Amino acid sequence: MIEPVTISDQPPEHPVLDYAGLVAEGIRQLERLSDGRWTDFNAHDPGITILEAACYALTDLGYRIFHDIPDLLAEGGSDPAASLFGPASALMGWAVTPADLRKIALDVPGVKNAWIGEVADTGVPLCHDAGTRELEIREPPADPVTAPTVAPVALAGLHRVSIEKSDQEDVDGSALLRDVARHLHAHRNLGEDFHEIHVLQSLPITISASVEIAVAANADDVLLEIYQRLGAAISPTLPTRCSMVRPWRAGKSIWTR
């Protein structure tokens, strides 16, 4: 006699596999964290939609984790390692520091150099009232005694980006600005934004010098080298170092900066 296959009506063996339980727990946490300000927990609410998507991702990940290792590697067929992520995919990091964002800006064709700094003053006055728990767009009172619960708020995570255009490529400044902004916004982290992105204008300078050269020296070659060294000292080009990375799964060669 063949034993019928049925779906158990018992709770899942682990909470991560209980989608309905995760959603219910998420709503309970939202009620606690919102302090009664969030009252609409129906399915049409965008916040609940995000919560449901996050819970589904957790249950899907939990379902995969509970599989045996041979089952997880079976997708690769005769080559089980093909089911795993290679170094080029698994070890790639997202932009974390301003230096990482600077490297992304430098990868845009037409960019010679880039500087990224924090913005301390955005020009938007913000203050928080601890008594009413409200954030307002206004200047805090000049006398803190009159409103002891009101304090100014400084926005964090805003960057100012300065771009130096390459003199080796004929790139329009407006087009370069759009390309840099598109690349940076595609890699920025949650809670970060770019307050200002601008392309630096060239500033002409004059150097007056009298140079005495050797009798056997070529004047044109000496003058060219003087120009090159002055240019490298006034507006240096960032050195680049390329290394070959060979992902063992993809079998490709990737040049990294």
Residues 83 and 138 in one domain: no
Residues 24 and 121 in one domain: no
| Residue 138 forms part of a structural domain | yes
Contact partners, residue 230, CB within 8 Å, separation at least 6:
207
Q: Which tokens hold the place of 86?
A: 């290679």
| Residue 164 forms part of a structural domain | yes
Q: Which residues pair with 199 in a beta bridge?
A: 163
pTM for the predicted model, two decimal places: 0.53
pLDDT score recorded for residue 255? 37
Report the domain count for the chain: 2
pLDDT score recorded for residue 249? 35
* DSSP designation for 72: H
Residues 108 and 86 in one domain: no
Q: Which of 156, 174, 203 is the last residue of a domain?
A: 203
| Residue 247 forms part of a structural domain | no
- Sign of the Cα pseudo-torsion (242, 243, 244, 246, in order): negative
Q: Which tokens hold the place of 126?
A: 């913000």
Q: Amino acid identity, residue 216?
A: A
Residues 81 and 118 in one domain: no
| Residue 81 forms part of a structural domain | yes
Res 56 pLDDT > 90: yes
pLDDT, mean of residues 196-220:
89
pLDDT confidence of 24, banded at 50, 70, 90? very high
Residue 104 sits in a domain whose CATH number is 3.30.300
| Residue 157 forms part of a structural domain | yes
Q: Which strands form 193-199's sheet, in the order they lie side by side? A: 111-118, 158-165, 193-199
pLDDT score recorded for residue 248? 34
| Residue 150 forms part of a structural domain | yes
Range of the domain at 175: 98-203
Q: How many CB atoms lie within 10 A of CB 197?
A: 19
Most confident of 78-82, 137-141, 223-227: 223-227
pLDDT, mean of residues 133-139:
82
Residues 71 and 120 in one domain: no
Residues 31 and 126 in one domain: no
User: Do residues 98 and 92 make contact, with C-beta atoms less than 8 angstroms apart?
Assistant: no
| Residue 25 forms part of a structural domain | yes
Q: Which of 40, 58, 90 is the last residue of a domain?
A: 90
Residues 62 and 128 in one domain: no
Residues 159 and 71 in one domain: no
Residues 102 and 183 in one domain: yes
Residues 108 and 23 in one domain: no
Residues 160 and 107 in one domain: yes
pLDDT, mean of residues 129-156:
81
| Residue 170 forms part of a structural domain | yes
Rounded distance, CA 141 to CA 150, Å? 8
How large a percentage of the chain has pLDDT more than 70? 92
pLDDT confidence of 252, banded at 50, 70, 90? very low
Residues 106 and 31 in one domain: no
First-residue to last-residue Cα distance in the chain: 65
Q: How many CB atoms lie within 10 A of CB 250?
A: 14
Rounded distance, CA 19 to CA 53, Å? 10
pLDDT, mean of residues 93-111:
87
